Amino acid sequence: MAEAPNTPPPEASHRRAIRSFVVRAGRMTPGQRQALERLWPRYGLDLPDGAIDLDQAFGRQAPRTLEIGFGMGDALLALAAAHPERDFIGVEVYPPGIGSFLLRVEQAGLSNVRVICADAVEVLARHLPAASLDRLLVLFPDPWPKKRHHKRRLVNAPFLDLAARVLRSGGQLQIATDWADYAAAIGELLPACAAFTPAGSAPDEAGRPQTKYERRGQRLGHAIAEFVCRRR
């Protein structure tokens, strides 16, 4: 049996001094651990030295969507179930959540989902072929609300360059946040990135399910900011 992932790959920790996440020492339930160990060989993607062969990983050629930090996996699961003709990849760093998600994927009988346990920046930079994605979702990333922690935020100019590398021409980048200052920063970054053409913001027509963090933000009275742009 293949060994389930425990932490992001070691190269992620020494290549970037500042990361957009902290690996918390959360307790994994027996059910999560069993699901991770049993289902990882079927749905998990171990990272090679170079780029992943996505056609081999899915056993076909198809349009592909990647979600960074899928959390509970509500959006990713719903999209994969609604679009069996498309392939979906989730990148997450918390093994307990991955274990729960893989169990839900199995219960739904889905074959078009794969999961990576790693730092998303490293995945975009080193492990995805160029122009291999049709859609990249960044839904409610950690806002790192304290000003001294803003440097940890995922969406910045270098991240947009990596997103442009992995998206095909015309591919869609979709970012959503419920933190006003993060939205303001993203709103300044996107027009300055020559690789993307902004397609506006349409939280009601963005073609994706709601997420847990989105619903929480709405309960707190936060406005949802959604950015949709396309690769030039």
The pLDDT tens digits for 97-123 are: 999 999 999 999 999 999 999 999 999
Going by pLDDT thresholds of 50, 70 and 90, the confidence category of residue 22 is low
pLDDT for position 13:
38
Residues 6+ apart with CB under 8 A from 225: 176, 177, 178, 180, 183, 186, 187, 201, 203
The verdict on whether residue 49 carries a ligand-binding annotation is no
Domain locations along the chain: 28-231
Task: To the nearest 10°, report the CA torsion of 59, 60, 66, 71.
Answer: -40
Distance in angstroms (rounded) separating the CA atoms of residues 180 and 47: 35
Of the CATH numbers 3.40.605.10, 3.40.50.150, 1.20.1050.10, 1.20.1430.10, which one belongs to the domain with range 28-231?
A: 3.40.50.150
* pLDDT tens string 126-179: 999 999 999 999 999 998 688 875 888 999 999 999 999 999 999 999 999 999
Q: Is the pLDDT of residue 2 over 50?
A: no
Is residue 161 marked as binding? Answer: no
Stretch 185-202: mean pLDDT = 86
Distance from chain centroid for Cα 155: 12
As a whole number of angstroms, the distance between CA 210 and CA 226 comes to 12
Largest distance between two CA atoms of the chain: 48
Measured between alpha carbons, how far is 135 from 197 in angstroms, rounded to an integer?
14
pLDDT of residue 166: 98
pLDDT in tens, 78-88: 999 999 999 99
By annotation, the residues acting in catalysis are 142
**In this model, does residue 19 exceed pLDDT 70?**
no
Query: Above 50 in pLDDT, residue 14?
Result: no
> Does 214 carry a binding-site annotation?
yes
Q: Which two tokens stand for residue 205?
A: 């027509």
Beta strands per DSSP E along the chain: 64-68, 87-92, 113-117, 133-139, 167-177, 196-198, 225-231
pLDDT at residue 3 above 80?
no
pTM of the shown model: 0.86
Average pLDDT over residues 50-66: 98
Kindly indicate the confidence band of residue 230, based on its pLDDT and cuts at 50, 70 and 90.
very high
Query: 213: annotated binding-site residue?
Result: yes
